[in-house]
Amino acid sequence: MAGQLIVGLDVSSRARAEEIVAALGDTVEYYKIGYQCFYGADGFALGKALIAAGKKVFFDLKLLDIDNTVEKGVAAIAETGAAMLTVHAYPKAMQAARRGAEGSTLTVLGVTVLTSMDDQDVRDAGYARDAAGLVALRAQQARDSGIGGIVASPHEAEMVRTIVGPKMAIVTPGIRPSGSAAGDQKRIMTPAQALAAGASHLVVARPIIEAPDPAAAARAILAEMASKGTRLA
């Protein structure tokens, strides 16, 4: 289970990020570095240091640009030995990312619909679909592009698994342990429910990094994951 839990280092200081990593010790082996940490905490160098220390690193950068730029950017990340990298789940971006990652162990993930968005947010963005419909479209396009996985809400994980099959990664943010606050997330599940729905990896940040004892919080989540409780309807 430890390999399926990814802790989001959503902090603006490298010193704080390193404190969290030290507090978690051997409890956690996988870390996500997103915008806040990447730009505010020298996250690229931090990621390379974590990789050198034997940790797995997920660079959550949501790349989207012209094909050549995406391909070259992905190739540069692949050279670090990172485990995962996100791009926006547009067909051409995913195809370019696949080319950039060729020959490496980097898993490219297509980001479908953010877990902070609901059906109204999707409509406001100009899509003539609800959130689930847009996720389904992006999942099909990710599968056809040949990348390694997608990022989706746990509420769509079961549907996505039927689309992409058993091998692709389904990485789910919006994970909240039993009894914790939803915060700004709208489509959430508990760890066990997300795994039961078909997720392969769970991203958790605030419930762990803001806990008085991050290692204890991580162990509690791992215990929930191991229970694989009943999924939501």
Q: Is 62 a catalytic residue?
A: yes
User: Is residue 89 in some structural domain?
Assistant: yes
Annotated ligand binding at 99? The verdict is: no
The size of the chain, in residues, is 233
C-alpha to C-alpha distance for 167 and 185, rounded to whole angstroms: 27
Has 66 been labeled as part of a binding site?
yes
For 52-87, give the DSSP string: HTT-EEEEEEEE-S-HHHHHHHHHHHHTTT-SEEEE
- Whether 232 is in a domain gets the answer no
Residue-range definition of the domain harbouring residue 185: 2-226
At 101-157, the pLDDT tens digits run 999 999 999 999 887 888 899 899 898 888 889 999 999 999 999 999 999 988 899
Q: Say if CB 161 and CB 195 are below 8 A apart.
A: no
CB atoms within 10 A of CB 68: 11
Instruction: Give domain status of residue 116, yes or no.
Output: yes
The whole model's pTM is what?
0.90
Measured torsion, CA atoms of residues 136, 137, 142, 148, in degrees rounded to the nearest 10: -10
In a domain, 20, yes or no: yes
CA nearest 134: which of 152, 146, 148, 147? 152
| pLDDT tens-digit series, residues 149-203 | 999 988 899 999 999 999 999 999 988 776 555 454 455 688 988 999 999 999 9
Q: Is 184 a catalytic residue?
A: no
CATH number for the domain harbouring residue 24: 3.20.20.70
| Other residues' Cβ atoms within 10 Å of the Cβ of residue 219 | 16
What is the spatial distance between Cα 233 and Cα 195, in angstroms, rounded to a whole number?
A: 14
- Determine whether the annotation assigns residue 67 to a binding site: yes
Q: Give the pLDDT confidence of 27-37 residue by residue, as tens digits.
A: 999 999 999 99
68 carries a ligand binding annotation:
yes
* Residue of 42, 48, 56, 65 with catalytic role: 65
Total tally of structural domains belonging to the chain: 1
The pLDDT > 70 percentage for the chain reads 92
Q: Is 119 a catalytic residue?
A: no
Q: Is residue 231 part of a domain?
A: no
Tell me if 46 is assigned to some domain. yes
